[in-house]
Amino acid sequence: AGWIEPRPTPVRVAALAPGVVEKLLVVEDQPVKAGDAVAQLVKDDAKLAFDRATADLKLREAELDEAKAQYKAAETRWKLPVHLEATLRDAEASLAKIQTALKNLPFAIRRAEADLKAADTDYEGKKSAEGVVAGVEIDIAKSKRDSATALVEELKDRNESLVKEQSALIARRDALKKQLELLVDELEAKEQADAKVNAATARVEQATVALAEVKLRLDRMTVIAPSDGRVFRLIAHPGARIGSGMTQMEGHDGSTVVTMYQPNILQVRVDVRFEDIPKVSLRQAVEIDNPALPSPIAGQVLFRSSEADIQKNTLQVKVAIADPPPVFKPEMLVDVAFLQGSEAQTTSPQKQVIRVLVPTSLIFDESDQSYVWVADQSDQIARRTQIETGVAMGNGVVEVTRGLNVTTRIIATGTESLRDGDRIRITAEENTIGRDLK
């Protein structure tokens, strides 16, 4: 006897992030495809972290936009320093005004001296005629002379201050020209703005990575199937904490949620007694049977286990099933027969040609189509199966070239009122029809 099991092992479906199981989305033996959700973890914390990371990314992007705007302004001031040109033009205008004042100063002094001479003459004349001219007229004349004297002195003193002011404006103009030529401050501001853009870009990239991490964790709150197959066992239950280092599950690590198997890739685990081990060899033909099968199917020895069961005095042998039937499920009990010598040769399709011969009494014709009634023993129903016939062999039999195989069970009686899919009950097997055929 042996037991069906996944080949080579069950597929472990693990939670890729720690959490608490909210609900299972599958049941045992349910078919699933790669990417289908099998369980949902509680995702409230992961959703909050995702929202926070999303907001942080938006903030960093806004900071980057601000830094880019500052860089653009600094670059514009560096390429088109109109603010320095305006300051330089103001300095040049002030210098021109001073230079004009210096140029006009001698004429102003000569005019003031002439006015002083006239005022002095007027004053002296009126003073000499003091008895004739009113005293107030003399005082007015004296005041005009004093004002003219002060203006002359002021204009003479102004020359020195204007020269100094001119020198200062020349120095300022030259400095502004040099500043406009070198653009040191503008270049520094541009480089600083560029550095701020780079820093803001790096912060955006950091926020993007952080968002991707929390989104990955949020996505991992949904446990998905890694491949096509069927659910084998439900390991975790709703409310169970999985994925942490402290979680322990019997036979599995703490992150396993369910296990799966592929129904088209199965094997048989057989306990072979020690004394029978020499009779088992690699790739040896095997016959596998089960009450759910219409007939035994073929298998082949994969390998012998490297560890023995000393309590049962047996060694496990793994047997491959070439084309597992749909009724086979893991842990199903089957009968296993290891074929030896001529037994293996007679079952080998390379050593003999198998021909399917069917009595003509079991073949029906309708609309130029031949068919037989086949018993589906696994579902206990009748199936109308179309066939193609070959050469009539005599003795009331004909070769069937397509539609049947040697394991097919044909319904011999009670076919008069059968319809495709009708449920049937097999009461006995007909062993006399065609017994003498070779």
Q: How confident is the model at residue 437 (pLDDT cuts 50, 70, 90)?
A: very low
- The model's pTM: 0.56
pLDDT value of position 348: 44
More confident residue, 257 or 403: 257
Say if residue 344's pLDDT is above 70.
Answer: no
Report pLDDT for 433. 59
- With 60 as the cut, is the pLDDT of residue 4 above it? yes
The pLDDT tens digits for 120-168 are: 888 778 778 776 777 787 788 788 888 888 888 888 888 888 888 889 9
To the question of domain 2-42+222-261 being in CATH 2.40.50.100, the answer is yes
- Residue 417 φ then ψ, to 5°: -110, 15
CA dihedral 361, 366, 371, 372 (to 10 degrees): -50
The pLDDT, as a whole number, for residue 408 is 77
β-bridge mates for residue 21, sequence order: 41
Query: Which has more confidence, 227 or 401?
Result: 227
By C-alpha distance, which of 355, 375, 373, 374 is closest to 437? 355
Q: Is pLDDT above 50 for 350?
A: no
- Answer yes or no: are the C-beta atoms of 289 and 341 closer than 8 Å: no
At 182-241, the pLDDT tens digits run 888 888 999 999 999 999 999 999 999 999 999 999 999 999 999 999 999 999 999 999
Question: Residue 407: which of 319, 265, 288 has the closest Cα?
Answer: 288
pLDDT at 407: 66
CATH 2.40.420.20 fits 353-438, yes or no: yes
* 353 pLDDT higher than 60: no
Rounded Cα gap, residues 314 and 316, in angstroms: 7
Instruction: Spell out the residues 6+ positions from residue 115 whose beta carbon is closer than 8 angstroms to its own.
Output: 148, 151
Q: pLDDT grade, residue 37 (50/70/90)?
A: very high
Q: pLDDT at residue 429 above 80?
A: no
- Give the model's pLDDT for residue 267: 92
Q: Which CATH architecture has domain 267-346?
A: Beta Barrel (2.40)
How far is Cα 309 from Cα 288, in angstroms, rounded to an integer?
Answer: 23
The Cα 107–Cα 152 span in angstroms is 11
Residue with the bigger pLDDT between 175 and 408: it is: 175
Residue-wise pLDDT tens digits, 10-26: 999 999 999 999 999 99
Tell whether the model's pLDDT for residue 438 goes beyond 80: no
Condensed to tens digits (0 to 9), the pLDDT of residues 233-273 reads 999 999 999 876 545 555 567 889 999 999 999 999 998 88
What value does the mean pLDDT take over residues 338-357? 57
Name, in order, each residue with C-beta under 8 angstroms of 236's C-beta and a sequence gap of 6 or more. Answer: 15, 21, 24, 39, 242, 249, 256, 257, 258
Percent of the chain with pLDDT over 90: 33
Confidence at residue 159, expressed as pLDDT on a 0 to 100 scale: 81
